[in-house]
DNA sequence: CTCGCACGAAGTGTCGACACATTATCGTGG
DNA sequence: CCACGATAATGTGTCGACACTTCGTGCGAG
C-alpha cells in the first residue's frame, strides 16, 4: 500500500517487525485515514482482544501513537483519538513550513545535479495529476516528492521529524487539496521550486518551499474547519 | 533544581506524577549531566531493582528516553545511552536554528510590548553573567531566555519540539560555552536580537536568532568533538 | 596457547492476575 | 418524572512469572 510511504523515516527506529510497532502502524493508518474519528475511544483492553494479544504490547503501541500526536492518553483514563483543532493545524503548518524551508536550503548545497534532475521527474508526475484532476494521485506523488527532498537534505534527524509531522498532516489532507484551482496553483509553486534547485539558489528555494506549505494552510483555513 | 526548566514543555504531556515519568526524568538528568556516559547500558531489570518497582514502568520510562533520543533500544538487546556523534550534533543544531528563527519571527508578530521588555531583563542577566565570567549562570539564564521566547511564539507544538531538542543539546553544552570569548560574542548577538524584537523587525530577528544558534555549532566544531 | 563450542547466567518481550480508579447501571427518594 | 447515590462492570497501572534470546564463562580440541 502507498500508506507505507508515511512510515519511511520511522522504520528502523523501532524494529518494524516488533508486535507493538505493527499494532501502532495499523492504528495509525486507521486514524490518519479518518476511519477512527477524533474522540473515538481506544482502550487497551478492547484492542488487546481485537489483536489477540495481551495488553502490554498494545500499551506500547498506544505510547507510540501518543508520541506521534494521534492519540491522547490521560492518566488513569481511557485513551482516545486526538481531536483536530484548527489552532493546532496552524501550529503544525508553521513548523512544517520552517523545516521544509530548511530542507530546501540544505538540499541546494548538498544534492548532486542528477539527484535534482530526479526531483524534476516527480514534478512531471504532479503536473500530469493536476491536469487530469487526479487529487488522490497528486497527494501521493506530493508525499513522494517531499520525502525525496527530505532525504536529499542529508539530515536524518530532520527527516525523522518531518515524517512525524507528515503523519499528522495526513489527517486533514482532504481539506487541503480538494479545493478547485488548488492543484494548479500548487503545481506552479513546485515548478518554481525545482527551478530554484536547478539554479542552486538557496534563499529562493527556501522561500518558495516555505510559502508552498503555508499556501496549504491558507487553503484549509478558507474551508472553515470545525 | 534548575534542571526542571528542561522539562517545562514536556510536563503535562504525560502526568508528571506518574511513576514512569519520574523515572524518565531522573535518568534524563543523569544522562544529560554526563553522569551516565554514552554507551552505558541501562537494562530494565537492573533499573527495576534500583527503583524498587517492576520492569513495566521502567520499560515505559525507557521508551520516553528513546523518544527524546537519549537512549537507544535495539530489539531483543539491552538498551544503552545513545552516543553523541558530531554529525548528529550538527543535524540538531540545523533544526534548532531553523525553529528558533521561526520563534523569533512569530514572536515579533504576537508578543506584547511588555512581554518584549521582559525579555530585555533576561538580557541584562546574561550580560552580567558574561561580564563576571559565570559560565554556568550564563547557561541557565540562556535556557530561561529561550524558554521565554518559545512561550511568546504562541505555538505550543513548537514549544514542545524545541524543548525536546533542548534536552539533547544540554548534553554537549560544556563544549559550546566554555571557550574563551564565546560568552561576549553571544551576549552581543542577544542584544541585537532583543533590539530587533523592540523594533518589530521580524526578518532581522529571525536571521539573528538563527545565526545565534549556528554560532554555537561553530564553537563546538572548533573544539573537535570526539 | 588459542579458538570455538557448550553450558549457565541474565535480560527481553509477553502474558495473566491483582488492587485501585473510573465509568456505567440501576434503584430509590424527592 | 428526574436527580442522585449505591453498586456493579470495565479499564488502568503495576506486578511476578514464563519462554525465548542474548551474553558471558570456562572447558576441551586442535
Q: Each residue of A34-83: pLDDT tens digit?
A: 999 999 999 999 999 999 999 999 999 999 999 999 999 999 999 999 99
Residue B56 near chain A (CB below 8 Å) = yes
Chain A residues inside the 8 Å CB shell of B155: 91, 94-95
Cβ of A91 within 8 Å of Cβ of B158? The answer is: yes
Determine the Cα–Cα distance for residues B149 and B151; give it in Å rounded to an integer.
5
Please report, for residues A66, A68, A159, B201, the alpha-carbon distance to residue A25 in angstroms, rounded to integers and kept in the order given. Answer: 12, 11, 18, 44
Q: Cβ of A176: how many Cβ atoms within 10 Å?
A: 20
Q: Measuring CA to CA, which residue among A174, A177, A157 is closest to residue A165?
A: A157
The mean pLDDT of A113-123, rounded to a whole number, is 95
Of all residues in chain A, the percent with pLDDT exceeding 70 is 92
Q: Are A68 and A164 in contact (CB under 8 A)?
A: yes
Task: Tell me if chain B has a CB within 8 Å of the CB of A4.
Answer: no
Check CB contact under 8 Å for A157 and B95. yes
Q: Please, are residues B108 and B197 in contact by the beta-carbon 8 Å criterion? A: yes
Secondary structure percentages of chain A, helix, strand, coil, to 5: 70, 5, 25
Q: What is the pLDDT of residue A6?
A: 83
Average pLDDT estimate for A86-105 = 96
CB atoms within 10 A of CB A199: 11
Q: Are B32 and B171 in contact (CB under 8 A)?
A: yes
- The reported pTM is 0.92
From A157, B51, A172, B29, select the one nearest B59 (Cα to Cα). Answer: B51
pLDDT for A207 beyond 70: yes
For A77, nearest residue in chain B (alpha carbons): B15
* Residues in chain A within 8 Å Cβ distance of B110: none
Q: How far is B98 from chain A (nearest CA, A)?
A: 6
Q: What residues have CB less than 8 Å from B47, skipping those under 6 apart?
A: B23, B27, B58, B61, B62
Amino acid at each position: 500500500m502507498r500508506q507505507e510511504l508515511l512510515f519511511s523515516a520511522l522504520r528502523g527506529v523501532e524494529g518494524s517487525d516488533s508486535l507493538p510497532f505493527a499494532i501502532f502502524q495499523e492504528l495509525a493508518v486507521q486514524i490518519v485515514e479518518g476511519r477512527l474519528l477524533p474522540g473515538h475511544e481506544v482502550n487497551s483492553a478492547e484492542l488487546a482482544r481485537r489483536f489477540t494479544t495481551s495488553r502490554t504490547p498494545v500499551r506500547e503501541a498506544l505510547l507510540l501513537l501518543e508520541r506521534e500526536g494521534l492519540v491522547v492518553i490521560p492518566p488513569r483514563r481511557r485513551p482516545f483519538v486526538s481531536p483536530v483543532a484548527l489552532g493546532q493545524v496552524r501550529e503544525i503548518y508553521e513548523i512544517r513550513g520552517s523545516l521544509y524551508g530548511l530542507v530546501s536550503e540544505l538540499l541546494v548545497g548538498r544534492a548532486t545535479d542528477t539527484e535534482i534532475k530526479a526531483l524534476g521527474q516527480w514534478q512531471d508526475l504532479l503536473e500530469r495529476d493536476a491536469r487530469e484532476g487526479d487529487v488522490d494521485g497528486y497527494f501521493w506523488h506530493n508525499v513522494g516528492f517531499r520525502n525525496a527532498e527530505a532525504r536529499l537534505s542529508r539530515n536524518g534527524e530532520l527527516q525523522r521529524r518531518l515524517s512525524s509531522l507528515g503523519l499528522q498532516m495526513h489527517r486533514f489532507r482532504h481539506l487541503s487539496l480538494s479545493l478547485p484551482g488548488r492543484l494548479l496553483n500548487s503545481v506552479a509553486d513546485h515548478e518554481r521550486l525545482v527551478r530554484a534547485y536547478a539554479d542552486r539558489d538557496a534563499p529562493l528555494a527556501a522561500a518558495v518551499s516555505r510559502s508552498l506549505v503555508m499556501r496549504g494552510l491558507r487553503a484549509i483555513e478558507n474551508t472553515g474547519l470545525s
